[in-house]
Amino acid sequence: MDIMDKLNISASMLLTGFTIVFAVLFFLIFLIWLYGRIITNAQTKAAKRKTLKIQSERNDEPIEKVPVKTDSKAPVLKKSGISDEVVAVISAAVYSMYGSSEKVKIKSIKKSSSRSAWANAGILNNTRPF
Amino acid sequence: MDILNKFLDALVGIFNDSGLMTLDWRNYIMIAVACVLFYLAIKKQYEPLLLLPIAFGMLLVNLYPSIMAAPETTFMTEQQCIAAKGTIDGYATTVIDGQTFYNVPHYGGLFYYLYQGVKLGIYPPLIFLGVGAMTDFGPLIANPKSFILGAAAQIGIFITFIGAIFLGFTSAQAGAIGIIGGADGPTAIYVTTKLAPELLGSIAIAAYSYMALVPIIQPPIMRALTTKKERAVQMEQLRPVSKLEKIIFPVIIVIVISILLPDAAPLVGMLMFGNLLKESGVADRLSKTAQNELMNIITIFLGTTVGATATGANFLSWSTIKIIALGLLAFMMGSACGVLFGKIMYKLTGGKVNPLIGSAGVSAVPMAARVSQKVGQEENPGNFLLMHAMGPNVAGVIGSAVAAGVLLNVLR
């Protein structure tokens, strides 16, 4: 191969490789984005329909007056020095994990005592990348 | 006296057949290289699951080259056959110029038969089956733009191709050398067996060595190409991906890539088949087999036989030194291009993308993603880039398979 042949083959391979790899992967980005949208929309609509159905079923039932009960644990939380914001964050985290379909109840939130040096070392060892 | 002569003849025969007489100096150097690889695999734990079988294959073939010998057939006359084997029964015959010859087979060495899985391109797709069964494509589905970084990191392959052409390699050999930049062992082996099988030993060893050295090679490049502010960027949490999306993903990928680039179908097809076994949730036994037993068995066969291609005569040449230098160039270029495209995304998104995740676009799963996490956390201890880097990382696996398809299509 002389220098011109080498230049030709190098340029054509660079151009072909670059173009095809990017074209294929851009096409995949579009496809994944598209089907992601379709599935998310479909699942959102299904969830909405389910919620509406439940609401309409509730509306059909006679409404009973239920006396409002104050959660006896709320003052306990305040006493233990946990602010409402922290309670809200923990509730939101639990909700995002389990959703509304699961019957999950937060009964108490306690501040844990600080970990021992051995526990900290164990956690550090298991979570450190190298 | 006759007994003593026979005894001495036997001793001389054994001595002449021993390694002391048959091995040359290059074999002894390769035995030393194998011992260095043992050290790196066992003491330094550089990719030990692959480096150990490769080193042992290298050791065995240089101690006993016939372990890779191909089967042969000797044509013998009736008298020769009876003298050698004591009988002519059971041997097929061939008539040449009116004379009958008996076909006496000599079977090949153990590694010759195991190597057929490499030569015929069987092992790399089977490894991909296991890789697919172990991979979570969730981060890539949640952020499909990661594909851009997975594509960018493949540019190193094509730049190295140019370097190899100008260093005197043929275009097929240059393609096989360039694929080292994909940082994907099975893909490198698959492409090399198709394009330049004579370079398999050098390319496989270079590819796996550099994959093991990712934590050493990448961080200086990442730091050199990014600012402190860019490295400290905290990325938004990825959206949750539904099970249905994860099930559809491998089916779509295999259809699109196999139609557009049929040469990449064996690799991508098996990768996605493994992933479908995992994500479908209905074939747990198959998924576990692909991830564990099958993967381990194939790794042993692949590693030992690839190592067995590194005989002294093949490996100790200027080509190997050039391949090792070009492989390093490929790796560095791939990482640099990934980071540079990460910087482009950083600018385009108004600082929402941390450019460090770009270097994970070279495959090397999950090591490259862990390097992004580590370098990001050095700048900002509260920064968790691992899941964000896994997107480009698994996109790099698909990207390198696509690049392999392009090379095979153009150069074969």
The predicted pLDDT at position B205 comes to 85
- Do A11 and A56 lie in one domain? The reply is yes
Sorted by sequence, the CB contacts under 8 Å of residue B71 that are 6+ apart come out as B105, B106, B107, B108, B112
With helix as H, strand as E and coil as C, how does chain A read?
CCHHHHHHHHHHHHHHHHHHHHHHHHHHHHHHHHHHHHHHHHHHHHHHHHHHHHHHHHHHCCCCCCCCCCCCHHHHHHHCCCCHHHHHHHHHHHHHHHCCCCCCCCCCCCCCCCCCHHHHHHHHHHHCCC
- In the structure encoding, which two tokens stand for residue B331, read together? 């790796």
What separation in angstroms does the CA of A6 have from each of A69, B74, B159, B247?
A: 84, 45, 13, 45
Amino acid in position B400: S
- In the structure encoding, which two tokens stand for residue A64, read together? 């009973």
Q: Which residues of B touch A14 (CB under 8 A)?
A: 158-159, 161-162
CB B209 within 8 A of CB B183: no
CB B154 within 8 A of CB B399: yes
Mean of all residue pLDDT scores within chain B: 91
- Do A11 and A35 lie in one domain? The reply is yes
Which residues on neighbouring strands pair with residue B93, listed in sequence order?
B102
Q: Band of the pLDDT at A82, cuts 50, 70, 90?
A: confident
Q: Tell me: pLDDT of B47 over 90.
A: no
* Residue whose pair of structure tokens reads 């492409």 in the numeric block: B191
Of B165, B248, B410, Cβ closest to residue A6: B165
Element (H, E) at B103: strand B99-106
Strand ranges of the sheet holding B99-106, from the earlier edge strand across to the other edge: B72-76, B99-106, B93-96
- Mean pLDDT lowest among B255-259, B382-386, B398-402: B382-386
The predicted pLDDT at position A63 comes to 57
- Under an 8 A CB cutoff, do A28 and B162 touch? no
- Do B248 and B148 lie in one domain? The reply is yes
Q: Band of the pLDDT at B367, cuts 50, 70, 90?
A: confident
- Give percent above pLDDT 90 in chain A: 23
CB B267 within 8 A of CB B193: no
Q: Tell me: pLDDT of A68 over 70.
A: no
* Domain range for A76: 71-107
Over its C-alpha atoms, chain A yields an Rg (Å, rounded) of: 29
- Do B41 and B184 lie in one domain? The reply is no
The predicted pLDDT at position A129 comes to 59
- Do B59 and B175 lie in one domain? The reply is no
- Mean pLDDT lowest among B12-16, B101-105, B186-190: B12-16
The predicted pLDDT at position B412 comes to 83
- Do B174 and B318 lie in one domain? The reply is yes
- Do A45 and A83 lie in one domain? The reply is no
Q: Band of the pLDDT at A83, cuts 50, 70, 90?
A: confident
Helix axes B185-195, B386-411, angle to 10 degrees: 0
- Do B79 and B133 lie in one domain? The reply is no
Q: Tell me: pLDDT of A78 over 60.
A: no
What is the number of structural domains in chain B? 3
CB B359 within 8 A of CB B153: yes
- Mean pLDDT lowest among B44-48, B197-201, B352-356: B44-48
- Give percent above pLDDT 70 in chain B: 100
CB B64 within 8 A of CB B98: no
The predicted pLDDT at position A72 comes to 52
pLDDT tens figures, A31-44: 999 988 898 888 88
3-state secondary structure of B381: coil
Total Cβ atoms within 10 A of residue B228: 9
Residue A28 in any domain: the answer is yes
* A99 and B CB contact within 8 Å: no
Angle ∠(B359,B363,B366) on CA atoms, nearest 5: 85
Q: Band of the pLDDT at B212, cuts 50, 70, 90?
A: confident
Interface of B with A (CB under 8 A): 140-141, 144-145, 147-148, 150-151, 154-155, 157-159, 161-162, 165-166, 171, 175, 215, 242, 244-245, 248-249, 252-253, 256-257, 260-261, 370-371, 373-374, 377, 386, 395, 398-399, 402-403, 406-407, 410
3-state secondary structure of A80: coil
- Mean pLDDT lowest among A32-46, A62-76, B62-76, B100-114: A62-76
What is the number of structural domains in chain A? 2
Q: Taking the model in full, what pTM does it have?
A: 0.78
Residues B67-88, mean pLDDT to the nearest whole number: 89
- Do B51 and B196 lie in one domain? The reply is no
Of A1, A10, A25, Cβ closest to residue B161: A10
- Do A10 and A57 lie in one domain? The reply is yes
When comparing pLDDT for B145 and A128, which is higher?
B145
- In the structure encoding, which two tokens stand for residue B218, read together? 């990448």
Q: CA of B318, closest CA in chain A: separation in Å?
A: 19
- Do A49 and A92 lie in one domain? The reply is no
* Domain range for B97: 72-106
Q: CA of A115, closest CA in chain B: separation in Å?
A: 20
- Mean pLDDT lowest among A68-77, B131-140, B260-269: A68-77
- In the structure encoding, which two tokens stand for residue B330, read together? 């490929």
